[in-house]
Chains A and B, each alone.
Chain A
Amino acid sequence: MMDRLLFGDNQFFGVNHMSEEKARAQALRFQEIEAVIDVLDAAYDEGIRTFMCTTHERISLVCDHVRAHPDRYPDYTFYPGMPYAHKYANAVTESGMLGAVKRFLPDEGLMDAAIRGTTSVAKKDIEGITTLLIDAEMKMFQGLSTPVIFLQNVVVDLLLGLGFKEAFRIFADHVKSRYDAEPGFITMNMPALLDVLEELQIDNPIICSNINKIGFRMCGGSAAYEAALRERQFRAVAMSVFASGAIPAREAIEWVCAQPNIASIVFGASSKANIRGTRELVSEFWQD
């Protein structure tokens, strides 16, 4: 069972879809990991115990902190979202496609990884390469609770566009068997992805997509999103509910809480006051 409110991490890494100035101010503010942990603590103290995060290398510092303080965070949960795409995109520009894949494969350690790696690359066996890349990204979460593991939207939507459906199945199977976790999919094209996941018989999938009152980055259109929420079997995680600040908080939460079948809302905030404000709005509008 997923929590209703999940805490996101865009604000920590200078990601702001509205303004580069704001993004830089946030990057400055969260330069030291202590500042990130202070905000996560504020969220935790408001009862928000799930951190839906990228696999940015700095997240490993958060992982170390949580591992080191089990008494402070007895029920802390991570929902990792992989991969941190810019790392790969910049590597592709520099080293080419295959070079980039090779660079991120584990280069030492387990014999298993080495064998899976070399033969997979040679045989174009995507299953082997994919599972290795997943394992590399999951390393930082060792010993922590990761009941849901997400595939990031750039990858999901690339695979969706290419018609590379098998990769979703590979991801789902590996996440289940190796991490005893549920697969989650982040997308900007929710109705189209839902069709493919249904076709693959990935039942009741967890799909995280923009769901906001103004239809911002809801590809396929608001009507298709609303129909999917009403009529189809999946667990929707709503992100970008404020549309990067374009919708006032109260109006945004009131609208999203009125949509049927939303399992969770993921939101980011940098201050205790904003975290509390969002939590209170959700309690007000989202009653069982």
Chain B
Amino acid sequence: MTAIPSAGGRRGALAQGMTLAWRSLVPLRNEPGRLVQFLLQPIFMVVVFVLMFGAMSGDPEHAARYLMPGVLTQVALISTNTTGMNLAEDIVNGVFDRFRSMPIARSAPLVGRVTADALTTAVTILVALLAGIAAGFRITAAPLDALAGLALLLLFTLALSWVSAWLGLKAKSVASMQGTATAVLLPLTFGSSAFIPPDNLPGVLRWWSSVNPVSHLADAVRALLTGAPVGTHVWITLACAAAVTACFVPLAVRAYTRRIR
């Protein structure tokens, strides 16, 4: 019996994950039409929320300062949808069966998917930010603070993409995954302080917006980009991201290894 180098070894697993991340990104090059989703959607959000809703308020510049960090939060979190949808598609199409029959690390397909989606999310955030700047938004914080704000957003998005992964691995079809993810994401993003301060909301909406973790995220991102005091928002956001990651990475990995048809 010869000792074959273990394909599931640590270095192997990382390389396999990167190969699968490449595989997730290559369709964008094959079919540039797919890029529209990553480019057009953030621009559209900036136009609607910053320019149009901003014009409704008496002070568009002030509105942009409030709304733009909210738009960044919104587009970043909505982009996590793709993680679960693509995983559900891989399962339905039998692509995962092929991976599972191969001598590769069990984690590689998940790591590859999440890595690729983190990259596209980063691009989405950047496009939204550039569109926002074109629309009159100014980063008024120190560069390091602003970077920390974007990093925090990306970190939280990454945590949420594991929830999306878990939903995708549990879903019976791509459409059902999309439905569940939308039902989770819309109340989280719109029902937060991303676009409207909780104080301005009535009854239940106000309560929900004040307990919603995304409100803390949006407030933290806003404070870090505009140089306002961050208060406890950063720590609460980090704690939420850590909790979500700690729960949903094992859940997603288990759903993946147990996914049997």
Genuine A/B complex = no
Hey, which bits of chain B sit against chain A, CB under 8 A? none
Chain A interface residues (CB < 8 Å from chain B): none
